[in-house]
């Protein structure tokens, strides 16, 4: 082996180590942001179904969250394509935007260890992926998911072009 080969191998190893450190720091920042999400009283999700020439009806959802401090937060989500439940995909997106921190709460994790409803993915490798709510699973699954994370789930309105749901935190 020549010195040039050894130097190149060393450079590659150092570059890979730097990359791993950058990825770990990036992941840690994401995790801290999730854990710092504001605590909610309620989340109202309004789904408007809009016509698409290619994919039929696509959901455009708006989530209005009310925090325990009285703030109002708004998030949006959309989905397109076919072959899966687009409605539950936008609901999952909004749950992840506002309620993902609950998947790191020790009391909820203890409950989920006993019985975890379909639609919650808890990470096994803590350094690569965040726990999340899954989409494409059917809107009815969110009743069980809401109960598992300490809330209630209710359909407030259902028309041909609009669905309205409400997640409400159960007071302790």
List, as one string, the DSSP characters of 104-149.
Answer: G-HHHHHHHHH---TTEE--SSTTT---EE-SSS-TTHHHHHHHHT
pLDDT greater than 60 at residue 4:
no
Q: What length does the chain have?
A: 172
- pLDDT tens, position by position, 29-77: 888 888 889 999 999 999 999 998 888 899 999 999 999 999 999 999 9
Per-chain mean pLDDT for the chain: 90
pLDDT score at 172: 62
Longest dimension (CA), the chain: 73
Res 14: pLDDT? 84
Which pLDDT belongs to residue 5? Answer: 63
Give percent of the chain with pLDDT exceeding 90.
63
Residue 69 in 3-state DSSP?
coil
């Amino acid at each position: 082996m020549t010195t040039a080969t050894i130097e190149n191998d060393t450079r590659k190893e150092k570059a890979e180590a730097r990359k791993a450190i950058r990825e770990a720091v990036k992941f840690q920042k994401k995790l801290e942001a999730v854990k710092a999400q504001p605590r909610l009283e309620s989340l109202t999700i309004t789904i408007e179904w809009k016509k698409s020439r290619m994919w039929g009806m696509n959901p455009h959802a708006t989530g209005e969250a009310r925090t325990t401090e009285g703030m109002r937060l708004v998030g949006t989500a959309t989905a397109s394509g076919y072959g899966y439940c687009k409605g539950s995909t936008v609901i999952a997106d909004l749950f992840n935007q506002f309620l993902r921190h609950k998947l790191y709460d020790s009391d909820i994790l203890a409950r989920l260890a006993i019985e975890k409803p379909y639609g919650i993915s808890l990470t096994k490798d803590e350094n690569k992926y965040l726990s999340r709510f899954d989409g494409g699973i059917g809107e009815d699954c969110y009743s069980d998911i809401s109960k598992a994370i300490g809330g209630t789930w209710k359909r407030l309105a259902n028309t041909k072009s609009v669905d309205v749901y409400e997640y409400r935190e159960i007071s302790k």
